[in-house]
Amino acid sequence: MMTGMHLNDRVTRFPRRSAAVFATLPAALLLAASGALLAPSIASAAPGDDITDSCLEMSQNNGPWVSPAVFEPSGTGYVPIPGDSGTVLTFDVRNTCAVPATLTLFSEKWSVADGGTATVQGQIGSQKGQQVQIGPGKDSATRIELAKKAVTTNIGVEIGFILGIPGGEVVQGNEINGGWGLALVEDEAAAVVAPAAPTGLTLGATEVEAGTPVKVSGKAQPGSAVTVTGGGASCTATADTNGNFSCDLTIATVGDHSITATAANAGGTSPASTAVTVKVTAETTDPGGSSSGSLGSLDIFGSLGS
């Protein structure tokens, strides 16, 4: 079976909602409008906005990162046979903007000539979408979502576009155009929630004199601000990348005191941890006026007359 595949149709790969509008604008306005694309900005972007042109960059075979408008990828040369499918196009993409966004790989304006059928499938990183059958018929304006994935700022992810032919296909020499495209849409910012209560509080000593610091240690959400309180005193620390924290708590009041800790971040403050108890005793004092010495022995020699 001789099968042709078209991968280089720019309109098919990157449909633009604005293309028809630009085509009808006077030349002066067209130049002004296109200038915004040359200096992209997302200052006015909001969750749900398409930021593909402003924030998406693409690269193939470790080449330079470029905008979608000038990206010209090469296919792998794979030609499917009935009952088989394979990757016909692969490249890397990245989100260059400091906003959370979701990348969607889709097929649009696809066609299978001569009444034939084909299959199309997409992959983003290790996440592969469902295989979908296309055709027969002419170009279709129906957008088929192939794969979707949240992408991290400035972290490249590989895209794979997969074409195939169903096992029962009998049409010879049909021509397949998968019509691939990408869209990057800004996400809602992830809500920051308050951390859980710190755990595993331990004391450097269970009994100290009044005014002597006791080291309090434990674990909390990494990066959270931890406050330790007890006996009318407090101390603070920042949990490290492993969640460990410690600070020195100095209590001036004699007695048994419960010590707890809370953790805080932009989302709020945690409940208090399970308490530990420290015994604070009175400070030892020197009575003063003490002296020491020795008294030598006294030998008396003589005789006692009768």
DSSP string, 46-115: -TT-B-HHHHEEEESTT---B-GGG-----------BTEEEEEEEEEEEE-SSS-EEEEEEE-SEEEGGG
Q: Residue 142's pLDDT is what?
A: 82
Neighbours of 294 (CB within 10 A): 4
Q: Residue 134's pLDDT is what?
A: 92
Tell me the mean pLDDT in the region 102-127. 93
Out of 238-242, 258-262, 282-286, least confident range: 282-286
Question: CA quadruple 148, 149, 153, 159: dihedral positive or negative?
Answer: negative
Q: Kindly report the CA angle at 210 between 269 and 247, in degrees rounded to 5?
A: 35
Q: Which of 134, 124, 126 is CA-nearest to residue 80?
A: 134
Cα(93)–Cα(52) distance, rounded to whole angstroms?
11
- Helix (H) or strand (E) holding 284, with range, is none
User: Taking a C-beta distance cutoff of 8 angstroms, is the pair 105, 159 a contact?
Assistant: yes
Give the number of C-alpha atoms closer than 13 A to the C-alpha of residue 171, restricted to the C-beta side: 18
Residue 288 has pLDDT above 60, yes or no: no
The amino acid at 6: H
**CB burial string 245-265: b at 16+ within 10 A, e below:** bbbebebeeeeebebbbbbbb
Position with higher pLDDT, 287 vs 83 = 83
Residue 214 has pLDDT above 90, yes or no: yes
CATH architecture of 43-186: Sandwich (2.60)
Burial class, 132, CB count within 10 angstroms (exposed 0-12 / middle 13-18 / buried 19+): middle
Q: Residue 1's pLDDT is what?
A: 38
SS3 221: coil
274, two tokens: 């399970």
Residue 13 has pLDDT above 50, yes or no: no
Q: What is the 3-state secondary structure (H, E, C) of 238-276?
A: ECCCCCEEEEEECCCCCEEEEEEEEEEECCEECCCCCCE
139 alpha carbon, distance to own chain's centre: 38
Confidence of residue 239 (pLDDT cuts 50, 70, 90): very high
Q: Residue 46's pLDDT is what?
A: 85
**Percent of the chain scored above 70 by pLDDT?**
78
Fold for the domain defined by 199-281:
Immunoglobulin-like (2.60.40)
Tell me the mean pLDDT in the region 132-141. 85
Give the number of C-alpha atoms closer than 13 A to the C-alpha of residue 254, restricted to the C-beta side: 4
| Prediction pTM value | 0.55
Give the domain ranges of the chain. 43-186, 199-281
**CB burial string 135-174: b at 16+ within 10 A, e below:** beeeebeebbebbbbebeeeebbebbbbbbbbeebebeeb
Tell me the mean pLDDT in the region 190-207. 92
The most confident of the ranges 132-146, 173-187, 207-221, 273-287 is: 207-221
Residue 28 has pLDDT above 60, yes or no: no
Q: Give me the residue label for tokens 């790989």.
A: 105
Q: Which of 6, 9, 1 is CA-nearest to residue 112?
A: 6
**Percent of the chain scored above 90 by pLDDT?**
61
42, two tokens: 């997302």
Neighbours of 36 (CB within 10 A): 11
Q: Residue 230's pLDDT is what?
A: 97
